[in-house]
Amino acid sequence: MRRRLQSFTGLDRLKACGRVPVNPEGGPVLRLSETAEGRRAGVAGLMACGSPWACPVCARRIAGRRASDVAEVLTAVERSQGSAGLLTLTMRHSRKDTLRDMWAALSAAWGSVTSGRGWVKDQEVFGIRGWIRTTEYTHSPETGHHLDVHAVIVFEDRLSRDLMEEAGYRAFERWERALTRKGFSAIADKGGLDMRPIVLTADSIEQVAEYVSKAAFEVTSTHTKRVEGTAVRRSRSWPMPARGRPSPSNCGGSGKPHRSEKNGHVQQRVEGVGRCRP
C-alpha cells in the first residue's frame, strides 16, 4: 500500500519513506531480530516519514507505541485510585462540507472545550487531571467527510457515572457554541455526545488504548504531574453546563462539591444540582 501511495503522493517525506537511506554513503543494512515468533529479517538505515495519517507503515508503528503509552497512563490511574471516562464529540455535516472547513471547526471547538474559566472551575469541581485526545476521520460517498473527537478524561477520584456524564454535558455546551460560530452544529442526543466510564481492568485498558491510538492523538500540554512514575499532563479549561442541564450557576449553588464514599466510588455532588429542574 505504501508503495502504491508513493507513486502519486505529493509528500516528499512519504516518497522517501522506506526507500531512501538515512546515510547516502552507508546505505541500508540487513538486520535480524529475535521476536516471540522467532527470527525476523528487516532493513535498517532507511528514512521513515513518521506520518500517522498518510503512511500505513508508520501509522501502525506509531499506533503501537501510543497504545502502550495510553495503557501505561490508565494503569497508573487505576493504581492511584482515580478514574477515567471516554468522551466522544462529533458534528453534523453534509456531503458539501469540505474537510478543510470541518477540520478548522473541530480544532476551534476542541480549543473551546479545553480553555476558559469553565474548564478551570470544572477541574476543581470534578477533579479533572488531564486528557488524551484522538481525532477519527472517515469518508463515504453518501455522507462525505466525518470527524469524531475521542478523548480520555482522567479524574483524581473514582467518580460516579452521573458525575462523568455531567462533565460530558458541560463539555458539549462549549463544543456546540464553538461549532455554531464556525457554521456547524451538533445535537447531544443524536450522536453529538457520548460520555462513558472506562473500566480500569487489564483487558479493558488494552482495548481502550488500542481504540484511542488508532489515529494521531494529542496529550494536554501544560505542567506535568507524576502518578506512580507515569507522567499525566494537566490541562486548563472545560466548558459551562449544556443547555437544560442543572448546574451550580443556574441553581444558586456554591459550585463546591459534596464528597462521600460509596462502594469505592466518590459520590461528588455539586451543591444545588440535585434540587434543580432543567
**Amino acid 42: pLDDT:** 75
Q: Where does the pLDDT of residue 215 fall: very low under 50, low under 70, confident under 90, or very high at 90 and above?
A: low
Give 227-260 pLDDT, tens digit per residue. Answer: 333 333 333 222 222 333 333 333 333 333 444 4
**Amino acid 55: pLDDT:** 83
Whole-structure pTM value: 0.67
Higher pLDDT, 43 or 177: 177
Nearest partner of 72 among 227, 186, 214, 224, judged by Cα:
227
Residue 96, Cβ density class (10 Å: 0-12 exposed, 13-18 middle, ≥19 buried)? exposed
Average pLDDT over residues 200-212: 89
DSSP symbol at 182: T
**In whole angstroms, what is the distance from residue 31 CA to residue 255 CA?**
60
Higher pLDDT, 8 or 132: 132
Average pLDDT over residues 69-86: 93
- Does residue 273 carry a pLDDT above 50? no
Residue 275, Cβ density class (10 Å: 0-12 exposed, 13-18 middle, ≥19 buried)? exposed
**In whole angstroms, what is the distance from residue 119 CA to residue 238 CA?**
3
Q: For residue 153, what is its C-alpha cell?
A: 478524561
- Sign of torsion over alpha carbons 215, 216, 221, 226: positive
Give 99-109 pLDDT, tens digit per residue. Answer: 999 999 999 99
**In whole angstroms, what is the distance from residue 50 CA to residue 56 CA?**
10
Share of the chain above pLDDT 90, in %: 39
Q: What mean pLDDT value characterizes the chain?
A: 76
Average pLDDT over residues 165-179: 95
Q: List residues bridging with 43 in a β-sheet.
A: 30
Higher pLDDT, 10 or 24: 10
- Does residue 28 carry a pLDDT above 50? yes
Average pLDDT over residues 126-130: 93
